[in-house]
Structure 1
Amino acid sequence: MISYQFLIDAQLRPDKTPDFSAYPFCLPAVRHLGRLEFDPAVTFIVGENGSGKSTLLEGLAVALGFNAEGGSKNFNFNTRASHSCLHEYLRLARGVRKPRDGYFLRAESYFSLATEIERLDEDDSPINSPPIINSYGCRSLHEQSHGESFLALLEKRFGGKGLYILDEPEAALSPQRQLRALKRIHELVQEGSQFVIATHSPILMAYPEASIFVCTPDGIRQRAYEDTEHYEVMHDFMANPRGALKMLLETPKEP
C-alpha cells in the first residue's frame, strides 16, 4: 500500500550492531526502539527527563538531513558538537511524497540558531536575495522574548506541506501561548504537514487523535492521552491543588 505521509516509521538498522552498554544505545527509548510508527499528522514522544526522548528526536532529525542544532536543511552551523551517533544506526521509512518545507526546532539551541540567522544576514549575499529574517517576520529573534521568537517561527516561518521535528516547543511558552501554538499546529496539519514532537506539555499532548508514545524503562509504549502520567498528574493537581500540596509538603522525610 502506497503511503502519502512524509515519515512512516523508524527502527534500528539490522545491518549494524551497536554497543548497547554505551550511550545513546543504553537509553531504554533507543535500546528497545522496535518499530516506531508515526502518525500522518501529529506524533508525540513523551517521558521523564533522561528517558531518551530528545536523543531519539535528535537522531531522527539528523537522519532526515537537518542540522543537529536546529533549523532547516540549509543550516550547517555548529557551536558545540554534542549530538550522538544515533542517526547512523536509524533506518527511516518515508512515503512517496516529499515535504515542501521542513524544520528541526530544539529549544536548548534556539538562541544559537537566532545568532546564526543574524550572522548569515550580515554576510554578503547574492543580489536580490532577501534576508533570512524576513521569513521569521522581519524582526530579529534576539529582540523578542523567547516565547515571541518561538511563535514567530511557528506562525511566520512554517508553511504548509512540511515535516516539522520539534523538541520541547513549549519550553518558552505560557499556557495561553501553548494554546496558540496548538492552533497553529492544527492549521499546518490541515495544510498537509506532519509533526513529530517531544514534549512535557499536557496542553500540546491534547491535540485530537494524535499518536502518543511514552518512553518507559522497558522501551516505547503507545498510550491514550488520559493514560499518560503527564495528564494524570496535572489533572489530579488542578482538581485539588491545596490537597496535593499538603500531601507533598507535609510528607515526612525518610530517616
Structure 2
Amino acid sequence: MFLKKITLLHEDIPSFSTYPFSIPSIRKLDELNLESNITFLVGENGSGKSTLLEAIADKCGFHTAGGGRNNSYEVFASGSSLSNYIRLSWLPKITNGFFLRAESFYHFATYLDEMDDPRAYNSYGGKSLHEQSHGESFLSLFLNRFNGDAIYLLDEPEAALSPARQLTFLKILHDLAEEGNSQFIIATHSPILLGCPNANILSFDNGEISKIAYEDTDHYQITKYFLQHREKFLADLLREDDE
C-alpha cells in the first residue's frame, strides 16, 4: 500500500452549508485510514463516494476527467473543490497511477486520438479506444495500462462490463493487488466486484463513512433476494407502482 490516510482539513473549510461539504459523509469525515490494497467505496447516488474519489485524484495530480499525471486536456467542470481541503498521507509517496471515470472515458479516448501519435496507444492495446467496444476499451486499459508501483482510482469501472467481463476484471484486480505493489480505490455498485477477496468496503450511507462486511451491503442483499425470490420481489415492487 502507498496511500495510508485521508484527512479532512476542517479548520480550513469556510462553510459546511455549501456543496460538497454539506454532504453528510463528507461533513463528518475526520480521518480515513486505508487498510487494504483494495478499498471499495459504496453508497447511494449522492452519498459522496465519487466526490471523495475525485478529490483524491485531483490531489494526486491526475486529470479529474480521467487519466494520469501526464494527461492534459480540456473538459468542462473537471476540477474538484474538495481536493484543496484534504491531506493525503503516503508511505512511500508515489506519482504513478490512473483515474478512471466511466462517465467521461469518451473524452479521454478522444484525447489519445488527438495526440496523433501511434505510440500513445501502446498502453491501451495498440489501437484507438474508439475502435474498440466500450467494454473492450475498459479491459484494454486494465490489461495494458495497469502495472506495479502505482495507485489506481476507479469510478464505476463496471459501467461498460458484462458480468463475465466483471469477473475478468476482478481477476486482474486481485492479481495486481496480490503482487503487493498496486493500490486500488474503487467506487462501485457491482456486487461481483465487491466480492473480491481481501478487500475492504467502506459505506457512505447513513451519513458517515464506515467499514461494512460484504454480506451487509445493499448490493449483496438486494441482489441475493432478487435472484432467490424474483417473482415475489417484482410482484411487490410493481404492486407499489400501481397503488
- The TM-score with structure 1 as length reference comes to 0.90
Deviations 1:60-100 (A, max 9, x none): 1101111111101101212212433100000111112536x
Q: How does 1:82-231 map onto structure 2 within 5 Å?
A: 82-96=78-92, 98=94, 101-122=96-117, 131-191=119-179, 192-231=181-220
Q: Establish whether residue 33 from structure 1 lines up as the match of residue 29 from structure 2.
A: yes
Partner of 1:23: 19
Partner of 1:127: none
* Per-residue deviation, 1:181: 0.4
Q: Which runs of 5+ in 2 are unaligned?
A: none
CA contact (8 A) 2:3 2:88 kept: yes
Which segment is superposed worse, 44-53 or 89-98? Answer: 89-98
SS state at 2:12 partner: coil
CA contact (8 A) 1:43 1:211 kept: yes
* Per-residue deviation, 1:161: 2.3
Share of identical aligned residues, percent?
Answer: 49
Q: 2-side partners of 1:29 and 1:59: how far apart? A: 14
CA contact (8 A) 1:161 1:188 kept: no
CA contact (8 A) 2:36 2:200 kept: no
Root-mean-square deviation (Å)? 1.5
Q: Establish whether residue 49 from structure 1 lines up as the match of residue 38 from structure 2.
A: no
CA contact (8 A) 1:165 1:196 kept: yes
Q: 2-side partners of 1:218 and 1:236: how far apart? A: 25
SS state at 2:57 partner: helix
Q: Which runs of 5+ in 1 are unaligned?
A: 123-129
Q: 1-side partners of 2:81 and 2:225: how far apart? A: 39
Q: Establish whether residue 246 from structure 1 lines up as the match of residue 235 from structure 2.
A: yes
CA contact (8 A) 1:46 1:199 kept: yes
Q: 2-side partners of 1:198 and 1:212: how far apart? A: 10
Q: 2-side partners of 1:235 and 1:18: how far apart? A: 44
SS state at 2:197 partner: coil
Q: 2-side partners of 1:18 and 1:95: how far apart? A: 30
SS state at 1:216 partner: coil
Amino acid at match of 1:246: A
Deviations 1:1-24 (A, max 9, x none): xxxx21001121144123111011
CA contact (8 A) 1:29 1:56 kept: no
Deviations 1:114-140 (A, max 9, x none): 000111135xxxxxxx61111111111
CA contact (8 A) 1:225 1:231 kept: yes
Amino acid at match of 1:149: S
Q: 1-side partners of 2:228 and 2:45: how far apart? A: 25
Q: 2-side partners of 1:145 and 1:18: how far apart? A: 44
* Per-residue deviation, 1:217: 3.7
* Per-residue deviation, 1:144: 0.8
Amino acid at match of 2:167: L
Amino acid at match of 1:236: Y
Q: 2-side partners of 1:239 and 1:194: how far apart? A: 35
CA contact (8 A) 1:8 1:38 kept: yes
Q: How does 1:65-80 map onto structure 2 within 5 Å?
A: 65-80=61-76
SS state at 1:92 partner: strand
* Per-residue deviation, 1:39: 2.8
